[in-house]
Amino acid sequence: MPNVGPFELLLLGLLAVISFGPQKLPEIGRSIGRSMREFKESVSGVTDVKDAISGVNEVRSAMSPSNLAGAFVPGVKDVQESVAAAKNLADPLAAGETAAADGAAAEGAAAAKPHAPSS
């Protein structure tokens, strides 16, 4: 494949001026630049789509029927808590792990809370 040198570029520029005219060349250059910019933005927008899909999945998981029922229907939250407690009774190892995690979270919250000086 031959290399394009300065003489070939000058010849192409002269041919463009003859065929399109000097008034049309800046407009053609702007339209080519605009189309290249739009193409670049459309190709780089792939990560934006992935972020949007992950956001939709987060909302979908938060809007599960059990979460909505617990928030809006009286008494459902109490039933959910009693079912969770019954599951902990049925599987004592899981209850010990969750209790340890809850205790660690409570200790972390207590350590982060500033203490009021006593008078």
pLDDT digits (tens, 9 = 90+) for 40-96: 877 776 667 777 788 888 888 777 777 777 677 777 777 878 888 888 777 766 555
d(CA 96, CA 103): 10
Q: What is the pLDDT of residue 45?
A: 66
d(CA 36, CA 41): 9
* pTM of the shown model: 0.33
Q: What is the pLDDT of residue 92?
A: 65
Angle between helices 6-20 and 24-44 (to 10 degrees): 110
If you average pLDDT over every residue of the chain, what do you get?
74
Q: What is the three-class DSSP state of 34?
A: helix
Residue 77's nearest CA partner among 64, 88, 87, 68 is 68
